[in-house]
């Protein structure tokens, strides 16, 4: 030991003085001039700083006695590296590219010493330090979609599974074989089984992630009904609101045949031909009463484990066709990067939208259902594309282009009435009805919106919202109730080509900035995309 550290041999770097600090492993080369030149010449090695942070270390392993490569220099560059037989241990960490923070790449730091006891001592000390890193999962349930995207689900899991094994994370892997498989499995879990898990991972696309989300929340999340404006359709509310009619068009509610939603399943067949009209308990939570908008939704049975909580998390390893959730969070469609985020316990807050399908008529016997969306919900064009694409899953991601073209050429419009709570940024929407008769001018073009802050990886707006959002569930509910009571309703009715609601930016390869570039991960806003009936060329523009 020297000055609180100990001299070890670093593979490819030579002798270094290693010591354990508060946040990581400190490295001080004995021969800095030789160390710097030799390490930078090894292209396969990570960029070495003076510290290896524990937060970036996902595993430590003891190795058998073997060769430790000495440092490179002008002489040995020709003759080869000088190998020394030593006892070894390896520190598994991550490295990032210099240009951007993603993707993450696994890297190894192999240390050697002539004494086996010394290596074991370092191994045990490092294991203790790694275990002290909080929020890292130990037991996960993994759902793998074998047919998602280009059928890469199983292959992608086989690629990242060794990382989970190396990190000593237990995984129960379930390969889905039908639509609703993940949903049914999660709904049937007992409290004891659920408490044993630290989270659930989806190896698939956005559809599988949303299915898992609904399976978790359907019977265990006690949510209040969304507020309903007075006189909206056939059902009323005791709350007073200000009606601001957008135009004089017919306000007939959409018929059952024209209702669609973007909640894709994860099988080769769409089991639910009219998603918003589903009566199956597999696809949503049945609400027992419509009498009060403040009455919580109760599932079939009461559970001791409820959501949200501070320990259970959902993860996703991208394998889908668009992977909008992954691109909007980590910024990279890379299974290894996402797996390392999960293993290291990285977390971020996400907004979840509650979608309630009310009765289609006052005399309807079908009870309303509740679903949850993590990225996007759509009615009209978006819903038609998702529904049609289910018939062409054999085409892979190209099915969306094909279905989108077919639906676009049909140029179908939908009668709808949209009401939303006004925020300070939507004051200018309350313009005269005459401006909306043609429907050709987008609503957003008339808003005096503030400067857009595009949501990117490590977005400071999302970080600030996540930090300030660590409030209790009661505080969040009270805040939402106050907003609903003080805000006023804005109405827009007529014929629409599409009605969309984005929870996040929904970044994808076709739209690098997303459908809504300034929609942030946990800002508490739902971003509406209202496209009125207009000529086909104008819609394409």
- CATH number of this structure's domain 6-131: 2.30.29
Residues of the chain with CATH 2.30.29: 6-131
How far apart CA 121 and CA 482 sit, in angstroms, is: 57
User: Is the pTM here over 0.85, yes or no?
Assistant: no
Reading the chain (541 residues) residue by residue, the pLDDT tens digits are 444 689 999 988 888 999 999 899 998 887 766 555 444 434 345 555 688 999 999 999 999 999 988 765 544 443 445 678 999 999 999 988 766 666 899 999 999 999 999 999 999 999 999 999 888 999 999 999 998 888 899 999 999 999 999 999 999 999 999 989 999 999 999 989 999 999 999 999 999 999 999 999 988 887 777 777 766 654 433 333 333 333 332 323 333 333 333 333 333 333 333 333 333 333 333 333 333 334 444 344 556 777 778 889 999 999 988 898 998 888 889 999 999 999 999 988 888 888 888 766 666 676 678 889 998 888 888 888 888 888 887 887 788 888 888 988 888 888 888 888 876 654 433 333 333 433 333 344 344 444 577 776 767 667 666 555 555 555 555 555 555 566 778 888 899 998 988 898 888 887 888 788 778 787 788 888 888 998 888 877 6
How far is 10 from 12, CA to CA, in rounded Å?
6
Cβ–Cβ under 8 Å, residues 398 and 407: no
CA 528 to chain centre: 20
Which residues form the catalytic set?
206
């Amino acid at each position: 030991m020297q000055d609180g550290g100990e001299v070890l041999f670093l593979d490819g770097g030579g002798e270094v003085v290693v010591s354990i600090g508060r946040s990581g492993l400190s490295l001080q080369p004995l021969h800095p001039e030789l160390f710097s030149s030799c390490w930078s010449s090894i292209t396969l090695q990570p960029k070495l700083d003076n510290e290896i942070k524990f937060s970036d270390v996902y595993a430590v392993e003891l190795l058998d006695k073997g060769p430790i490569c000495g440092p490179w220099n002008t002489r040995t560059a020709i003759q080869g590296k000088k190998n020394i037989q030593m006892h070894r241990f390896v520190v598994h960490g991550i490295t990032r590219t210099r240009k951007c923070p993603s993707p993450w790449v696994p890297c190894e730091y192999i240390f050697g010493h002539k004494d086996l006891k010394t290596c074991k001592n370092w191994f045990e000390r490092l294991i203790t330090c790694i275990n002290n890193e909080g929020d890292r999962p130990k037991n996960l349930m993994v759902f793998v979609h074998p047919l998602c995207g280009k059928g890469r689900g199983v292959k992608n899991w086989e690629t990242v599974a060794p990382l989970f094994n190396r990190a000593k994370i237990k995984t129960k892997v379930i390969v889905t074989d039908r639509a609703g498989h993940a949903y049914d499995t999660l709904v049937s879990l007992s409290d004891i089984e659920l408490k044993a898990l630290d989270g659930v991972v989806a190896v698939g696309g956005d559809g599988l992630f949303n299915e898992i989300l609904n399976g978790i929340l359907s019977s265990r999340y006690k949510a209040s009904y969304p507020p309903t404006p007075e006189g909206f359709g056939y059902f009323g509310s005791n709350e007073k609101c200000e009606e601001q009619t957008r135009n004089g068009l017919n306000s007939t509610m959409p018929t059952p045949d024209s209702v669609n939603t973007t909640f894709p399943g994860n099988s080769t067949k769409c089991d639910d031909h009219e998603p918003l009209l589903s009566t199956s308990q597999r696809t949503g939570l049945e609400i027992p009463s419509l009498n009060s908008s403040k009455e919580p939704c109760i599932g079939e049975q009461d559970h001791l484990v409820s959501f949200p909580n501070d320990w259970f998390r959902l993860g996703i390893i991208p394998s889908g066709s668009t992977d909008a959730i992954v691109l909007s969070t980590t910024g990279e469609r890379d299974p290894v990067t996402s797996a390392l985020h999960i293993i290291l316990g990285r977390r971020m807050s996400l907004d979840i939208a509650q979608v309630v399908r009310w009765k289609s008529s006052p005399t309807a016997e079908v009870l309303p259902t509740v679903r949850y969306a993590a990225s996007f919900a759509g009615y009209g064009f978006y819903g038609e594309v998702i529904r049609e694409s289910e018939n062409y899953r054999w085409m892979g991601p190209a099915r969306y282009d094909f279905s989108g073209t077919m639906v676009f050429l049909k140029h179908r419009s939908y009668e709808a009435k949209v009401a939303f709570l006004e925020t300070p940024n939507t004051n200018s929407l309350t313009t005269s009805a005459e401006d909306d008769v043609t429907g050709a001018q987008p609503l957003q073009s008339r808003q005096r919106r503030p400067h857009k802050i595009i949501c990117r990886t490590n977005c400071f707006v999302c970080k600030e919202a996540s930090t300030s959002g660590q409030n209790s569930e009661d505080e969040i509910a009270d805040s939402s109730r106050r907003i609903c009571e003080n805000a006023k309703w804005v109405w827009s009715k007529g014929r629409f080509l599409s009605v969309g609601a984005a929870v996040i930016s929904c970044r994808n390869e076709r739209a690098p900035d997303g459908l809504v570039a300034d929609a942030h991960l946990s800002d508490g806003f739902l971003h509406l995309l209202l496209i009125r009936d207009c000529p086909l060329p104008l819609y394409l523009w």
